[in-house]
Amino acid sequence: EAQVTQNPRYLITVTGKKLTVTCSQNMNHEYMSWYRQDPGLGLRQIYYSMNVEVTDKGDVPEGYKVSRKEKRNFPLILESPSPNQTSLYFCASSLWAPTGTEAFFGQGTRLTVV
Amino acid sequence: AQSVSQHNHHVILSEAASLELGCNYSYGGTVNLFWYVQYPGQHLQLLLKYFSGDPLVKGIKGFEAEFIKSKFSFNLRKPSVQWSDTAEYFCAVLSTSGTYKYIFGTGTRLKVLA
């Protein structure tokens, strides 16, 4: 089954404790990205990756890091989480094409930083 | 700047009522438009998409959308809503000029009363 898998689904952590949210897709998609969803703000892109070893900042990259060592995986790293990073996070993947295909989304990770 | 506007933030309807959710985009390149639905506690799922051809697009669950180029609009419609349509709906455009990214509107929360 084609899917994007995120882990964990729920996470409560304390300020400053490094954490990683994993994302994996099995569709051989080149393009992967991370979004955060906050009430009234919709989805905002954090980082994206066009392919292995190619990553770039989205609209709200501060406080986040990513890596793309393998095509299927795109982890999101919070080196020193702060309460303003409490949010719902989604990983997405898609083919990369001029007339594009839709993005496929993971189940989401609800992060609370206290 | 490229953007997507959804003017209805909250919509409440009774079952069997007709639905129309507005979406306007600001993007000058090749148009790739999407509507996603997010049921409570779930991830985003594709309802329908438009790349080219017939501007009236039919999606899943009886939804359709009309692309009107002159109005930069891509409104979502359903003739008769059901209680199970209660969800949040996001309009999105894929930007392929410059940065390749999906740009989302802020979403419309639909509540259907049984």
| Cβ count within 10 A of residue A23 | 25
Per-residue pLDDT tens digits of chain B, which is 114 residues long: 678 999 889 999 999 999 999 999 987 777 899 999 999 888 899 999 998 899 999 999 999 999 999 999 999 999 999 999 999 999 999 887 777 888 999 999 999 999
Pairs from A40-49 (Cβ < 8 Å, separation ≥ 24) = A40/B9, A40/B106, A41/B106, A42/B90, A42/B104, A42/B105, A42/B106, A42/B107, A43/A90, A43/B44, A43/B90, A43/B104, A44/B104, A45/B101, A45/B102, A46/A76, A46/A89, A47/A76, A48/B99, A48/B100, A48/B101, A49/A74
Contacts of B42 in chain A (CB under 8 A): 107-108
In the predicted model, what is the mean pLDDT of chain A? 94
| Cβ separation A90–B49 shorter than 8 A | no
The answer to whether B99 faces chain A, any CB pair under 8 Å, is yes
Contacts of A55 in chain B (CB under 8 A): none
- What's the residue count for chain B? 114
Confidence grade of residue A96 (pLDDT, cut at 50, 70, 90): confident
Is residue A98 pLDDT above 80, yes or no? no
The answer to whether B104 faces chain A, any CB pair under 8 Å, is yes
Q: Give the Cα separation of A108 and B3 in Å (integer).
A: 24
Is residue A2 pLDDT above 90, yes or no? no
| Cβ separation B101–A45 shorter than 8 A | yes
Residue A100: per-residue pLDDT: 62
Confidence grade of residue A35 (pLDDT, cut at 50, 70, 90): very high
Q: Are strands B19-21 and B73-78 parallel, antiparallel or unpaired?
A: antiparallel
Cα–Cα–Cα angle for A93, B36, B60, nearest 5°? 110
Distance of CA A42 to the CA centre of its chain: 15
pLDDT tens string A7-32: 999 999 999 999 999 999 999 999 99
